[in-house]
Amino acid sequence: MIALLARWLAWSMALVAAHVANAQAKTRASLLLDHEAAAPGSRVLAAVRLAMPEHWHTYWLNPSEGGLGGQATTLEWELPDGITAGDIQWPTPLRIKEDAGSVFAYEGVVHLLVSLALADTIASGDYTLRARVGWLECEKSCVPGKANLEARLAVGPKAVPSAAAPEFTGFLSGIPKPQPFPVTLAWSAVAGSADPKKKAYSIQFPIADGRWDFFPEPVEGLAFEGGGMASPAAQAHGTALVTVGGTAELDQGSWPTTLAGLLVDVGNSPAKARSFRVVAMTSAPATGVAGAGAAVPATAAGAGAGSLPGDKPFVLILGMALLGGLILNIMPCVLPVIALKILGFVRQAQESPGRVRLLGLMYGAGVVASFGALGGVMVALSMAKQLVHQGILFQNSVFLVLMTFLVVVIALNLFGVFEVTLGSGGISKAGELAAKEGAGGAFFNGVLATVLATPCSAPFLGVSIGYALRPGQSPWVTLAMYLTAGLGLALPYVVLCLQPRWLKLLPKPGNWMVQFKKFMGFPMLATAVWLFMLTANHYDKDRILWLGWAIVVVVVAAWVFGQFIQPVLRAPRPAWAAFLALLATAYFWMLEREVDWRHPADPTAPGASASAPRPSGRHKLPWQPWSPEAVEKARASGKPILVDFTADYCTTCNSNLRLAIEVPSVIQRVQDTGTLVFMADFSRNDPRIAAVLQAYQRPGVPLVLVYPANPSEPPRALPELLREGIVLEALDWAATPR
């Protein structure tokens, strides 16, 4: 408090000296309009220009860091009926160090922008717009200044830009951009100080580069000091997390949970400085990053609704991983493998209890080992400074091609084209279902279930995997979360196999098993079609056509193997020659030469876009391609925005789209509120989308953000699993003026 009083006295003495000297203001003010004529119902942009002499400055809306020095420029309008003025749009100021502390000010020439709205009912004619502007200009001493400004505006059926209109593009470029990412606020004790009224604040946000500073907006009863400490970007789990901060002294009230202000890249020259107007929020399960200091409504609360997993006990998050893995068993991704496992249970019911337990444990080992390997891949990618997320494998073209061929071969095996039983002595005749599954086959089924479950998102799993992949997380914690999720997926089958008596309740083996096995070839074939569709995202149509031909040739090779090689003890050489020739043709000619399968299309090439929307025929809403720049531009229009971060491989995303977003009531609400809709397609890797997902503590898609019409408010993150009512409520919230 003594320091604050000292600052106040210093500023007071400067003002007294200025008045005693009766100095004249040196700053020159003028009023510009971007139109000389405008139509009723439109908007006109006004600019108050303040031109200061060299070494003099005027002040931002928060004149000084301590809140006790300087004076913000004021503006009072005298406008005709039918014309209303909005708030001042303040350009990004400079931080100027002075003896009494830092001030936030403008030097040279500054333009304060104001939006003027013309009512629909305003009559045509010529109007005079008047404004009284007051400021404080300072060098070594401070001088108050004021001016009465006016400009003429004609109202008529046609809009006519003014002579100054081209300058407004430059004026607008100096206005801070809307908040593009969540920003967290943390309060902590000041080292070496026991004063409860003094704390250190830190503000953290994800961004790739720059040297950043935080300019706080005024907070009643709170004085800031010691800011401007921009830390270097700390690379953690592939995301650059920047922390800026300082100290603050509380005079009255309680420590705020939100701080509004500007994030300014001070590493560039003032003419090229980047800045964002943000609202930093303390992490809390009820609010998280979803709103501008307001609690998330019940319809949007819960796992994935912006809550931060780090705020929950570790044991609880581990329990969520186990429960999420358990729920994965009923997700569409793994149902074909689950059905095969049930068929295996029917076979095992007639075997010895010891063998049943062995096969169950081997299946569980395959699942857990695969989840552990997946967790290890995530840790390795993180240590290599890569952005990691849950669906990363399904964005890899090589993985998709291999999985497509593998699932096609498994489907052919189920149809009886050929028969292979892993771990049971090799190859057996088609239809011999009495053959033992084998430990190798059980382990392989566990691996396959894990691979197919990779793109799936289940309730509770998103929170735990998001915690595992959060920036700065310990590799051991990441592995623990993945292993626990794998244990959840394997648990029902391991428990059943440890209690062989329960298997007696299953139907007895018979001819129905032959038919059931063939029937299960169809969902496996559907999985192959789905994988082929995902692969199509990575190659042009000619290369995809050749990939399809390669699959056909492999199918023919499998038929030759099943018909002419497998049924006999010594297959004829022509059959082997045809089989090997077909495989060689599929790989060397079609895959390597025509498809060039290890080199997918470059998403950064001209005309390519990882976030481009899917074909419009598949959708009922007018989706636009997402990019941070597109959303930033759309926010300036003052319309609500909905952004769907999705991917073709994400079954939850597609379910949300069909059942909760592209439904008649939501489509109508989008039209009524004028909401703009953007689709961020993560089917192929896009580091910008990955950064947004990590910023919102999501392990992967889906993520739906709803931006309010007010561009100064941050977006709301909706839950992973959506209902129609949740989306409708969020759209109403976004369109409601505040």
Same structural domain, 149 and 241: no
Taking only the tens place, the pLDDT of each residue in 479-530 is 888 899 889 888 887 887 777 677 666 666 667 777 877 888 888 888 889 8
User: Do the beta carbons of residue 480 and residue 362 sit within 8 Å?
Assistant: no
Same structural domain, 84 and 189: no
User: Do the beta carbons of residue 2 and residue 251 sit within 8 Å?
Assistant: no
- Cis before 702 (ω within 30): yes
Same structural domain, 60 and 147: yes
Same structural domain, 34 and 105: yes
229: CATH: 2.60.40
Same structural domain, 376 and 491: yes
Mean pLDDT of 127-152: 93
SS3 336: helix
Single residue among 124, 159, 194 that ends a domain in this structure = 159
Q: Is residue 10 part of a domain?
A: yes
Mean pLDDT of 295-310: 33
Report angle CA 184, 389, 476 to the nearest 5 degrees.
80
From residue 262, how far is each of 177, 188, 331, 715 by CA, in Å? Answer: 9, 21, 44, 17
Same structural domain, 320 and 269: no
Same structural domain, 268 and 344: no
Q: What is the pLDDT of residue 130?
A: 96
Lowest average pLDDT, out of 62-71, 344-353, 671-680, goes to 344-353
| Angle, helix 461-468 to helix 314-327, in steps of 10 degrees | 130
Half-sphere exposure of 736 (CA within 13 A, CB side): 7
Show the tokens assigned to 274: 């980047």
Q: How far apart are CA 601 and CA 613, in angstroms?
A: 17
Mean pLDDT of 545-549: 94
Single residue among 463, 489, 520 that ends a domain in this structure = 520
646: CATH: 3.40.30.10
pTM score of the predicted model = 0.56
Same structural domain, 470 and 382: yes
Q: Is residue 271 part of a domain?
A: yes
304 or 13, which is more confident? 13
Domain of 242 in residue numbering reads as 184-282
Single residue among 496, 520, 544 that ends a domain in this structure = 520
Same structural domain, 188 and 150: no
Q: Which amino acid is at 198?
A: K
CB burial of 547-565 (b: ≥16 within 10 Å; e: otherwise) equals bebbbebbbbbbebbbebb
Same structural domain, 83 and 16: yes
193 or 407, which is more confident? 407
Please tell me the total count of domains within the chain.
4
Q: Is residue 403 part of a domain?
A: no
User: Do the beta carbons of residue 143 and residue 114 sit within 8 Å?
Assistant: no
Residue 640: closest CA among 615, 670, 600: 670
Q: What is the pLDDT of residue 299?
A: 27
Q: Give every CB contact of residue 550 below 8 A, 6+ residues apart in sequence.
A: 586, 587, 590, 591, 595
Q: Is residue 535 part of a domain?
A: no
Q: Is residue 603 part of a domain?
A: no
Taking only the tens place, the pLDDT of each residue in 407-464 is 898 889 888 898 754 433 333 333 333 334 567 777 877 787 777 676 666 666 767 7
SS3 296: coil
Question: Quick check: 623 pLDDT over 80?
Answer: yes
Same structural domain, 193 and 145: no
Same structural domain, 219 and 351: no
Question: Quick check: 207 pLDDT over 50?
Answer: yes
Phi, psi of 516, deg, nearest 5: -65, -40
Q: Give every CB contact of residue 315 below 8 A, 6+ residues apart in sequence.
A: none
Q: Is residue 326 part of a domain?
A: yes
Q: What is the pLDDT of residue 354?
A: 76
SS3 678: strand
Q: What is the pLDDT of residue 274?
A: 83
Question: Quick check: 285 pLDDT over 50?
Answer: no
Q: Is residue 112 part of a domain?
A: yes
Q: Is residue 227 part of a domain?
A: yes
